[in-house]
Amino acid sequence: MKRIYMDHAATTPMAEEVIEAMRSAFVEIFGNASSLHQPGLEARAALEDARERVAKFIGAEAEEVYFNSGGTESDNAAIKGVALSNKDREDRGGRHIITTSIEHPAVLEPCRYLERQGFEVTYLPVTKEGLVEIETLESAIRDDTILISMMHANNEIGTIQPIAEAGEIAKARGIAFHTDAVQTVGKIPAKVDDLGVDLLSISSHKLHGPKGVGALYIREGTEIEPIMHGGGHERGMRPGTENVPGIIGLATAAELAEKSLDEDMVRIAGMRDRLAEFVLERVEDVWVNGSRTKRLPNNLNLGFSYIEGEALLLRLDAEGIAVSTGSACSSKKTVASHVLTAIGLKPEEAHGSLRITLGRENTDEEVDYTAKAIVDVAESLLAMSPFRK
């Protein structure tokens, strides 16, 4: 059976060019980038070249890019690091943080941890489309607000937030501004100056790079403390010997994404819309979760009445199609998605969601096959649903 993969928000298959670049690095660049001998210097040169390439991709300076293990570490480092650095400052100390109710757990859990340490966190509500209203953000800012963390686009429903407008507000008030851009880097433009962010999180495996590698952009001058301690790697921000082959893989993936970004956005959005319309026209009681316009080009989150999303997922998997019901990090939990309940869905409605996230290797033929399979499976499940009148 041919497999069709449409769960790119969870992870992406590694590009062949990335695999080749990493294979060469594993063999030829084995030195420790902190060593002073020739193998070490070669590793250092490759590391700094990769830093330049990733920095160029997001419109940053090389010295503003810090490599780490991925998006979760980046989010933790940004949120905890800024909080620790600013809590006792005489000129602008404070213990108030603003984030949103639909953030990834990699943001929400550090915020909850900081609440237990005496910080206060405001969780902004969102509209039924999953959007944060700028007026709501402005009204939440206090004199002791030290950090705003707002994801660039949601990992479940794909809604793109007004990051540039929020960045202007944060800058005017002198508040550090972080965005989790794990789902957007490589899928839509994500230049740090255009977004107006001070910190930005990247995960390699979301853009056809290797797992276990990521980066945190930290704008020069941003007050932040390291949350890990050890050696002086990554200019003191992240101790531990750098994963040079993985970092080279990330840089290669970034370059590949940049080359095809404009073309991919149009083509993938077209496939997504065709899939959506096919299902919406043929299945009763189905809807799109999130904004229809302000969303990632590859994301489609469908809600089905009277059907369990997990049943849909398993039946589609039996047909050779890989999709999900929500965030891969919480896919084994039985509670309703906090994102879907935040946009106003009842728990039973939230449990009927199906997330389809396309990638650049998907084809029109795969989309057509998947669309028909979703309709067939949904109709079959609806026919046997005890909840349907």
- Whether the CB-CB separation of 150 and 166 falls below 8 Å is answered with yes
- HEC profile of 81-97: HHHHHHCCCCCCCCCEE
**What is the distance, to the nearest Å, from the Cα of residue 376 to the centroid of all Cα atoms in its chain?**
31
Task: Write the secondary structure of the chain as one string of H (helix), E (strand) and C (coil).
Answer: CCCEECECCCCCCCCHHHHHHHHHHHHHCCCCCCCCCHHHHHHHHHHHHHHHHHHHHHCCCHHHEEEECCHHHHHHHHHHHHHHHHCCCCCCCCCEEEEECCCCHHHHHHHHHHHHCCCEEEEECCCCCCCCCHHHHHHHCCCCEEEEECCCECCCCCEECCHHHHHHHHHHHCCEEEEECCCCECCECCCHHHHCCCEEEEEHHHCCCCCCCEEEEECCCCCCCCCCCCCCCHHHCCCCCCCHHHHHHHHHHHHHHHHHHHHHHHHHHHHHHHHHHHHHHHCCCEEECCCCCCECCCEEEEEECCCCHHHHHHHHHHCCEECECCCHHHCCCCCCCHHHHHCCCCHHHHCCEEEEECCCCCCHHHHHHHHHHHHHHHHHHHHHCCCCC
What amino acid positions are annotated as catalytic residues? Answer: 329
Calpha distance 149→78 (Å, rounded): 9
Selection from 186, 298, 182, 202 nearest residue 253 by Cα: 186
